[in-house]
Amino acid sequence: MSKILITGGAGYIGSHTIVDLIENNFTNLISVDNFSNSSKDTFDRIKEITGKDVKNYNVDLCNLEQTEKIFEENRDISGIIHFAAYKAVGESVEKPLKYYHNNIESLVNMLKLAKKYNVPNIIFSSSCSVYGNIDKLPVTEDTPLPKAESPYAYTKQIGERMLQDFLKISPNQKAIALRYFNPVGAHPTGKLGEMPIGVPNNLVPFITQTAIGIREKLTIFGNDYPTKDGTCIRDYIHVSDIAHAHVLALQKLMNDKNFPQYDVINLGTGNGVSVKKVVDAFEKVTGKKLNYEYGPRRPGDAVAIYANNQKAIKVLNWTPKYNLNDMMLSAWKWEKNLQQANVN
């Protein structure tokens, strides 16, 4: 059974991907996570769902020496799914060097070691933020990438470019970069989900924390955009659908000898949904009235962005299973679960 290394395995998408890998018979997994933005409990939660223990190395991937020890100990790694990265757009503007250092250095180290230890298959977490503020919707993968809007987005553009340059001199490696749109929701059991540290930046954790009483009210950033209800439009996609796409991408690299050495694939539902619609869906499926108000626009927000997801559907044979109501219900289940566990 091939061994898969997941970096950032305790993180939001990493942990859901571990569950999906296990459910798809990838049982030989190791994770590297230094819990800089995640919790050790995640592995207990994964065990609750799957019955399996996953070994985690508490190592900073920017530390090449310590990371190399993992590869020395595990000589049979056949795939790396590289999630580990900082991901807050706003923070990246405040602290650009923190982002450039962490997100780039860790990838450089991963690639060096992938080559030295002959790991053939690499999946890279990218983001729709590489497309910036784009007018032509839905967004296809061949959209030329503009100047990045934030240091975070730039680290993803650089990461993709690094992979391509690396592959040119590495005939034994293949990679897929997956460009996520807006991952939301939680494992359908409510036992695994997003665990923002401090005040959440993202919409859905802010909604669930408001509904449960941690935050007083949600501010919807802007209702004067040129959209039907005046609020911004995004492509929200269930985290478990994103997770499953990683498993399919890995299987693709492993099993399809004719697959190109490098590809990029959008992961979204293809539906543009407004912030107001998200709030309405949350209220409908939970029966809870959300305390919210309209406030000024958030600087840097694009009016609308959603995916053309045909490539993922065709190439990976992937279809998103969960709709907006499922996303809201699972996120709410998770929030209630966190409250019970007294994590907040």
Q: Is 167 helix (H, G, I), strand (E, B) or coil?
A: helix
Q: Is 28 in the site for ligand UDP (CB under 6 A)?
A: no
Residue of 195, 218, 331, 338 interacting with ligand UDP (CB under 6 A): 218
Residue of 30, 32, 275, 324 interacting with ligand UDP (CB under 6 A): 275
Nearest to 32 by CA among 99, 153, 114: 114
Q: Is 202 in the site for ligand UDP (CB under 6 A)?
A: yes
- Backbone φ/ψ region at 213: left (φ over 0), alpha (ψ -120 to 50), beta: left
Q: Is 176 in the site for ligand UDP (CB under 6 A)?
A: no
Beta carbon nearer to ligand UDP, 186 or 315:
186
Distance between CA atoms of residues 293 and 212, nearest Å? 17
Q: Is 121 helix (H, G, I), strand (E, B) or coil?
A: strand
Residue of 143, 201, 227, 251 interacting with ligand UDP (CB under 6 A): 201
Strand-pair partners of 218? 292
Q: Is 215 in the site for ligand UDP (CB under 6 A)?
A: no
Beta carbon nearer to ligand UDP, 184 or 329:
184
Distance between CA atoms of residues 143 and 86, nearest Å? 25
Q: Is 219 in the site for ligand UDP (CB under 6 A)?
A: yes
Whole-Å CA distances, 109 to 6, 156, 188: 14, 16, 35
Name the burial class of residue 216, with classes exposed (0-12), middle (13-18) and buried (19+) by CB atoms within 10 angstroms of its CB.
Answer: exposed
Known catalytic residue at 152: yes
Residue of 29, 177, 220, 312 interacting with ligand UDP (CB under 6 A): 220
The answer for residues whose C-beta is within 8 angstroms of residue 142's C-beta and 6 or more apart is none
Tell me which stretch binds ligand UDP (CB under 6 A): 32-40, 76-84, 101-109, 200-208. Answer: 200-208
Residue of 298, 313, 323, 336 interacting with ligand UDP (CB under 6 A): 298
Residues 221-260 that bind ligand UDP (CB under 6 A): 221, 232, 234
- Least Å from the CB of residue 182 to ligand UDP: 5
- Residues 56-85, one symbol each (x = binds ligand UDP by CB under 6 A, - = not), give ------------------------------
> Of 99, 152, 236, 292, which one is the catalytic site residue?
152
The answer for residues whose C-beta is within 8 angstroms of residue 243's C-beta and 6 or more apart is 13, 16, 17, 19, 20
Q: Convert 15-29 to b/e letters by CB count within 10 Å (16 or more is b).
A: bbbbbbbbeeebebb
- Least Å from the CB of residue 249 to ligand UDP: 22
Q: Is 203 in the site for ligand UDP (CB under 6 A)?
A: yes
Residues in the site for ligand UDP, rule: CB under 6 A? Answer: 182, 201-203, 206, 218-221, 232, 234, 275, 298, 301
Catalytic residue list: 152
